[in-house]
Amino acid sequence: MVAVVSACGPTPATKVDTTTEAAAPTTRTPRIVDDSGRPDITFDPCLDLPDDVMTAAGYDAAHKEFADMPMGSYTFLGCTYEKDDPVPGVRRGYGLNVLSGNVTLEEELLKNGTVATLTSINNRPALVEIDPNTTDTCRYILETDFGIVIFSRLHYKDHPGPSAQSEWCTGLEGFVSSVEPFISH
């Protein structure tokens, strides 16, 4: 799980066009760059996922939070969302972290290969990660030209004890498939 998403100081959001039509992202200077020689991150989850699309999916785009992680040898641009989606006896909702990083899918597979399964989303190479040691979390990792985009969702249960592992990823693949066209390749 990428629980390291404790934000390093939110940056104010800029006004962006939030039409639902997937288009080539606007070229802009990334919010954070590193000196690693790795590619610049060309997909910013807080700016390039349209608010109306996230709101239609049930996430509170009006209260999204920037969560950036400059690491020196690589960088992640992050955005966190909350979804109030209660199902009595099952869940209170979800927390979603979307991280865009300049590490490769191969590096991610080497790091988390014991809990990762190769897959694809809309013909884009991807991983799905379900780590039994990271309870209630499901992650989809998509390959891009600059690195990867991680969708890490935390299932907020509304009952004591563990949630069934089969519930952790419910509906996440469909959501990721629906927003994948907004991600630059």
Give tens-digit pLDDT for 78-115: 999 999 887 777 777 889 999 999 999 999 999 999 99
% pLDDT > 90, the chain: 55
**Dihedral sign of CA atoms 58, 7, 183, 17 in order:** positive
Is 49 in a helix, a strand, or coil? coil
Is 156 in a helix, a strand, or coil? strand
Please state the rounded mean pLDDT for residues 151-179.
90
Please state the rounded mean pLDDT for residues 10-15.
36
In this structure, what token pair is assigned to residue 103?
Answer: 């590490």
The DSSP symbol for 5 reads -
Question: Rounded to two decimals, what is the model's pTM?
Answer: 0.80
Q: Distance between CA atoms of 111 and 68, rounded to whole angstroms?
A: 20
- pLDDT interval class at 33 (50, 70, 90): low
Output the pLDDT for position 100: 95
Q: Distance between CA atoms of 80 and 98, rounded to whole angstroms?
A: 6
Average pLDDT, the chain: 82
